[in-house]
């Protein structure tokens, strides 16, 4: 028989160690950095990175710092937020198909943002109120979707998805209603929210989503181990020391802050929170201490690449990046749903 030390070494490969976590996150950070460099270097206009960085008078410099860099930073922030929120919501509802866009939470947030912009902007406070209204509406949607899908304290997986579909349709209709009563000036903005786009961000917007996203993410990380325990069911998690109701409230609020921030700057971008955590879970396992930060980095890389595609595929025209993610995400969702049928959601 092996001495215990050898056995302990053997066991190290069967769970998440700090070393493995740092190696994976390092790799993903490098991937994100490479994507960001690629996305700043390429676009509908060819620029020289060397000239952009060395010659402040060149048009390359202007394109790099005024157009590409804020846009790539925005892609990083929004992608990071959406993917990590997806992972957290999936843990909360114990359903890998859950995601802010699919559950109608982003739609609710977008309606809140639009209401703040269209009806409150004339009082001069619109820009500050947009993320706050988006957060409040996202939180309202989250709690409503959760409570409606809950039957006898159990979340029926397919009921949850159906409720999300209904919420999406409902918020979409409400947004169209607002759209039909406002000035033409707002109509384009509203369309932009419905499609989801990273077009022409301001540094202020980048800062808003980064700060709020980082705050929400910090809270999620603090509860990462508790999210693991939630995989065993609410009762088992409670028996392992988790205050489940408090955890649920915390995740509701943190994810709503994050989705509200993302939606208020980029509109409804769906499926990022579905695709990215799913791939990472397949590759690296389900421990949320790794899955959350991995989704943060993976989501950033994914979004930057998707937005690069949005800019260059039919250049000089642009596709909204929300359309790109939905074109990838739709078939991906169907594929996951089909796999799910063969393998029950829980054991």
Partner 1 sequence: MNPVAAQAPAVRAAGIRAGYTADDVLRGVSFSVDPGQIFAIVGPNGSGKSTILRVLSGTMRPRAGAVEICGRALNTYDRRALAKVIAVVAQENIVAFRFTVLEIVLMGRAPHLGAFRFESPADLEIARDALERFDLLEFAHRHVEELSGGERKRVFLARALAQQPRVVMLDEPTAFLDLRHVAGIFARFRELAAERGLAVVATLHDLNAAAAYADRVMLLKEGAAVATGTPLEVLTEDNLSRVYETEVYVGRNPNTGALAILPSGRSQGRV
Residues that bind partner 1 (CB under 8 A): 4, 7-8, 10-18, 90-91, 94-96, 221-226, 228-233, 235-236, 238-243, 281, 285-287, 289, 343, 345-347
Q: Which residues contact 99 (CB under 8 A, 6 or more apart)?
A: 86, 89, 90, 270, 271, 272, 273, 274
CB 24 within 8 A of CB 294: yes
Min CB(229)–partner 1 separation in Å? 6
Q: What are 108's two structure tokens?
A: 């609710």
Task: For residue 160, give both structure tokens.
Answer: 């949850």
Distance, in Å, from the CA atom of 238 to the CA atom of 248, rounded to the nearest integer, reads 12
CB closer to partner 1 out of 95 and 208: 95
| Residue (136 or 227) nearer to partner 1, CB | 227
Q: Which is nearer to partner 1, 12 or 66 (CB)?
A: 12
Least separation, in Å, of the C-beta of 84 and partner 1? 16
Q: Which residues of 69-83 are buried (b: 16+ CB within 10 A; e: fewer)?
A: bbbbbbbbbbbbbbb
Closer of 290 and 301 to partner 1 (Cβ): 290
- Residue 21 CB contacts under 8 Å (≥ 6 apart), including other chains: 289, 290
Q: What are phi and psi of 240, to 5 degrees?
A: -100, 15
Q: Tell me how far, at minimum, the Cβ of 145 lies from partner 1, in Å.
A: 18
Cβ proximity to partner 1, 154 vs 315, nearer residue: 154
Q: Which is nearer to partner 1, 14 or 317 (CB)?
A: 14
Please state, in angstroms and rounded to a whole number, the distance separating the CA atoms of residues 249 and 102. 20
Radius of gyration of the chain (CA): 21
> Minimum distance between the CB of residue 178 and partner 1, rounded to whole angstroms?
37
């Amino acid at each position: 028989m092996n001495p215990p030390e050898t056995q302990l070494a053997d066991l190290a490969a069967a769970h998440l160690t700090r070393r493995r976590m740092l190696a994976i996150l390092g790799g993903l950070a490098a991937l994100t950095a490479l994507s960001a460099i690629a996305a700043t270097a390429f676009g509908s206009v060819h620029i020289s990175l060397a000239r952009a960085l060395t010659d402040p008078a060149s048009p390359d410099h202007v394109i790099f710092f005024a157009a590409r860099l804020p846009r790539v930073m925005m892609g990083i922030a929004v992608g990071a937020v959406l993917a990590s929120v997806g992972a957290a919501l999936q843990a909360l509802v114990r359903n890998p198909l859950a995601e802010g866009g699919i559950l109608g939470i982003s739609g609710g947030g977008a309606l809140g943002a639009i209401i703040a912009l269209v009806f409150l902007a004339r009082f001069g406070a619109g820009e500050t109120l947009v993320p706050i209204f988006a957060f409040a509406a996202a939180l309202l949607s989250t709690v409503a979707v959760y409570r409606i899908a809950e039957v006898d304290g159990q979340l029926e997986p397919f009921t949850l998805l159906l409720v999300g579909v209904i919420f999406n349709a409902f918020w979409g209709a409400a947004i169209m209603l607002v759209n039909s009563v406002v000035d033409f000036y707002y109509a384009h903005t509203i369309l932009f929210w419905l499609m989801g786009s990273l077009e022409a961000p301001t540094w202020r917007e980048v800062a808003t989503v980064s700060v709020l996203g980082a705050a929400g993410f910090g809270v999620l990380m603090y509860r990462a181990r508790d999210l693991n325990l939630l995989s065993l069911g609410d009762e088992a998690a409670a028996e392992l020391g988790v205050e489940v109701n408090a955890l649920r409230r915390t995740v509701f609020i943190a994810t709503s802050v994050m989705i509200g921030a993302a939606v208020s700057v980029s509109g409804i971008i769906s499926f990022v929170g579905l695709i990215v955590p799913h791939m990472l879970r397949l590759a690296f396992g389900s421990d949320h201490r790794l899955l959350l930060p991995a989704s943060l980095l993976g989501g950033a890389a994914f979004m930057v690449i998707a937005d690069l595609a949005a800019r260059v595929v039919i250049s000089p025209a642009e596709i909204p990046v929300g359309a790109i993610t939905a074109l990838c995400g739709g078939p991906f969702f169907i594929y996951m749903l089909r796999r799910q049928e063969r393998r029950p959601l829980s054991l």
